[in-house]
Structure formats: C-alpha cells, structure tokens
Structure 1
C-alpha cells in the first residue's frame, strides 16, 4: 500500500514533536547546580549571574522601613535576600545562602532563598 506525502509529513511532524517534548521535559527536570560566589562577584558582575542559582556567604542585616533583609560581607557588599520570614530567623548571623540571583537596574540585586545554612 502506497503512502501519500501527507502521511509521511504527519509522521515526520509527530516524531519531531515527541523528540522536542522529551528534550524539554529532561531539561526541566534537571536541577541547576549552584555556583559558589562572593558578594563582591555578584556586585561587580551582576549581569553575569542574573537568573542563576548561586551560593553566597554573609551576615544577615535588615532595615525596618521598608522592611528588607540582606547579606553583607566585611567589605560592605550587600545583596538583598528574601522571603523576609526566612531571613529574619538569621539576623546578625553568618550564613550561606543558596537561591536564584536576580539583578535589575530598578530593583537592584537579590537572592530568593531556596536554602540557608547558619555557619
């Protein structure tokens, strides 16, 4: 039985779609390994780390109005950390923060905490 070009194209399209979906699901399932960085690296090269999973060390500080927390190193480099309810538990403590780093010219530099370890 002879197949038409249309049937071959549909089969080719379906195989391509399955391959794409498989690659997409595999990529989504892979956890990104955090990059160990210093706060000065994040300050000086913020765009290089934007939207990447990072680990950084510092002492947790805060400001009351508006309420926000950050980690700070001995040179005064600061990176905001959130959510506040997690950061608040480590006030004035040295920590290793793991999370997604974000940078914007309007919002500054921040790490969304996925893990925090008191040192």
Structure 2
C-alpha cells in the first residue's frame, strides 16, 4: 500500500511540474520577437498578430502616401502611423510594433518604438 501511495505522489508532482512549465511557456507577454524583414515577407500569415522588432531603411511614396522600411533585398513592411516615421525618411531604423498581414492590405507594422541606427547613404 505504501508503494501505491508513493506512485500517486510522484504522479501528482510530475503533473504539477508539467502544468507549471506549460503555464510558464504560455503565460504573459514574452515581449516582441526579433524578426528580419525577409522572414516577415516570407512568413507573413504565420506572424500576423505578433509584436516584432525589425530593421531597415525608411522609404516613402507620395501618391498614395505611404511609408515602409526595406532591406537590401527589397523586403518591405509598411509603417503606421505616418507621422511617427516621416521624420526618419532615408535613415536606417530599428522598429518595434504590432505586425499585421492581409492579402488586401499587405504587410503592416503599427509602431510602438523607433530607434535610429544610421543615416542611409
């Protein structure tokens, strides 16, 4: 009978540990995910709804007005709000924000933070 009780106790401890590990892995906001523009371009659907950090050079187009960042391979993500990124036109920046993707609107990042890395040549 004593052996049976020990087995139940060990099983209960194992279950509690597994539950604690599962909750630790799922619980809370783990922060933004470091994601190169190439990955945002190729895995857009899977990353939609994620908070990401990425970097590139700020570019824009007047008609219709929009701003984006791009890497040397021309992978691009549109940035919002425009007034937060407009002062950084031509600069290499590191941005953090909420990433979204839709087939109608493309890849978009709503900015939470912008850090200037360098002025583009």
Same fold by TM (over 0.5)? yes
Q: Pick the TM interval, shorter chain.
A: 0.7 to 0.9
Aligned equivalent of 2:57, options 59, 68, 72: 59
Rounded to whole Å, the distance in 1 between the matches of 2:60 and 2:111 is 15
Rounded to whole Å, the distance in 1 between the matches of 2:43 and 2:111 is 20
Q: Secondary structure at the match of 2:90?
A: coil
1:72 lines up with 2:66 in the alignment:
no
Q: Structure 2-normalised TM-score?
A: 0.72
Q: Structure 1-normalised TM-score?
A: 0.74
> RMSD of aligned C-alpha atoms?
1.1
Deviation at 1:31, TM superposition (A): 4.1
Q: Secondary structure at the match of 1:47?
A: helix
Rounded to whole Å, the distance in 1 between the matches of 2:89 and 2:70 is 11
Aligned equivalent of 1:85, options 83, 99, 104: 83
The 4+ residue runs of structure 1 with deviation greater than 4 A are: none
The superposition leaves residues 23-65 of structure 1 with CA deviations (integer Å, 9 ceiling, x where unpaired) of xxxx7xx445000011010000001110100001000000001
Task: Please list every run of 5 or more consecutive structure 1 residues that lacks an aligned counterpart in the other structure.
Answer: 1-26
